[in-house]
Amino acid sequence: MLTVPSDHIVTRRLTIRRETADDAAAVAASIGRNRDRLLPWLGWATEEAASVEAQTVRITRSGEQWDAGEMFDYAIVDRATGTFWGKISMHRRIGPRGVELGYWLDGAAEGRGVMTEAVAMIRDEALGLDWVDRVEIHCDAANVRSRAIPRRLGFELDRSESRVATAASETGMCTIWLQRKTTSGRR
């Protein structure tokens, strides 16, 4: 039985791995390059977040949350070149037996199925944990690119909920996509 997720997952073209302090500069640079794309949907994508110092602090906290079993934060890296492409996380904030996936992608990797591949792997990793029965993806109803990923991967639209908008392009209507563990242990 698995109680903690792997800290290193390899796909055909990606390495999805636990972040380290060595990732701070690459993450900060990606946020800096992509602020105009990210900020309308992710209120945290500020100028401060694009600093190496802020990312070093965040990665340290993320490591503490990983060790406490609260959140599992991964870097998405091109397997062949080592280029940082984005982030994906499992959050234990949706109640017992569930995890919520969160993700963002560098614009240079957009449109190539990178995030779909990463979400599929992290979903499978989550559903392989003995304490997880369901995986959810929450995204604003207007975020077409983010909503396309759970749809593409066979998640069902479970419900929509009104929420306070926290970023400029959000409508305040959050769509919640769900995939449950099957009796065989995975989706």
For position 1, what pLDDT does the model report? 61
Per-10-residue mean pLDDT, the chain, length 187: 89 96 97 94 93 98 96 97 97 95 96 96 96 96 94 96 88 95 67
- Cβ–Cβ under 8 Å, residues 87 and 74: yes
Closest C-alpha among 46, 51, 71 to residue 61:
71
Neighbouring-strand partners of residue 86: 76, 105
For position 187, what pLDDT does the model report? 59
Residue pLDDT, tens place only, 75-86: 999 999 999 999
User: How much is the pTM?
Assistant: 0.93
Structure tokens at 40: 């309308």
For position 170, what pLDDT does the model report? 87
- Cβ–Cβ under 8 Å, residues 24 and 18: no
DSSP code string of 30-48: HHHHHHHHHTTT-TT--TG
